[in-house]
Amino acid sequence: MADQDDAGRAGAEFLWGLRERPVKQPRLALTVDRIATAAIEMADAEGIEGVSMQRVAASLDVTKMALYRHLTNKAELVAVMIEMAVGDPPDLSAIEGGWRPRIEHWAELMRGTWRRHPWLPTATVGDRAIGPREIGWTESALSAFDGTPLLGAEKIDAVFVLSGHIRNSQVAALSGTQPWTSDRRTRGDIGELMRRNHNQFPHILAALDDARNAPADNSWAFGLEQILRGLASLIDERATTKPLRRAK
């Protein structure tokens, strides 16, 4: 940072043991990748709202305006973060057993990724640029339905509802939304308030009571199961000439 005006002084200080190593440690170059990596690390740890240009820059020992040499604005940083965080989409072609194991595998992988980066649901709302890897996940999911009798639009809609369930499970996990399905602390608070007005919420309280001994948080698996059941029913209906008794 300063190595010219104190060139002479630096030598003296070094000789007299005032400094152990020459100042000029290489200082790796600033790149979009390094910036985004630092920002992702910050977002993973503190949430996306804690990520500001200033703080990212500081974590890289650089002024905030230096970032603008590599990114045109903050939206672009977020877009790059997303693209980097979602990672490369999986190849499902090796998975045997038809569409269901394939899409289940895909869903678990995607859920894992989103859980590793809990800020993704927040960052992916609103109008924004979408990168090729993100699209690649959709491509990957569509491939799971190869060989099914679903129409193109139906495959897309199926992937949509599945992605939505993943996003939504993550939204619920990091928030007070649907708190009774997530953590005990919040559940206690809201539960208390509901119990105080118990006559207003009889069904919720009855359901919670009934659920007391159920597995802690099954909403992810339950929702996934129902969506896949629905798809299975549609696919079967399409596949057989004489349709199954249609689900009422």
Q: Where on the chain is the footprint of DNA (CB under 7 A)?
A: 1-5, 24, 29-30, 51-55, 57, 62-66, 68-70, 73-75
DSSP 8-state symbol, 51:
-
Q: How far is the CB of 72 from DNA (least distance, A)?
A: 7
CA distance 102 to 141: 8
146, amino acid identity: D
Tell me whether residue 13 or residue 146 sits nearer to a copy of itself (CB atom): 146
Contact window for a copy of itself (CB under 8 A) among 17-25, 32-40, 53-61, 200-208: 200-208
Binder to a copy of itself among 32, 60, 95, 194 (CB under 8 A)? 194
Sites for a copy of itself among residues 67-106 (CB under 8 A): 98, 100
- Angle at CA of residue 185, ends 180 and 187, nearest 5°: 20
Q: How far is the CB of 41 from DNA (least distance, A)?
A: 16
Tell me whether residue 3 or residue 41 sits nearer to DNA (CB atom): 3
CB 106, CB 140: distance < 8 Å: yes
DSSP 8-state symbol, 6:
T
Sites for a copy of itself among residues 223-242 (CB under 8 A): 223, 225-234, 236
Quick count: other Cβ atoms within 10 Å of Cβ 200? 9
CA distance 142 to 112: 19
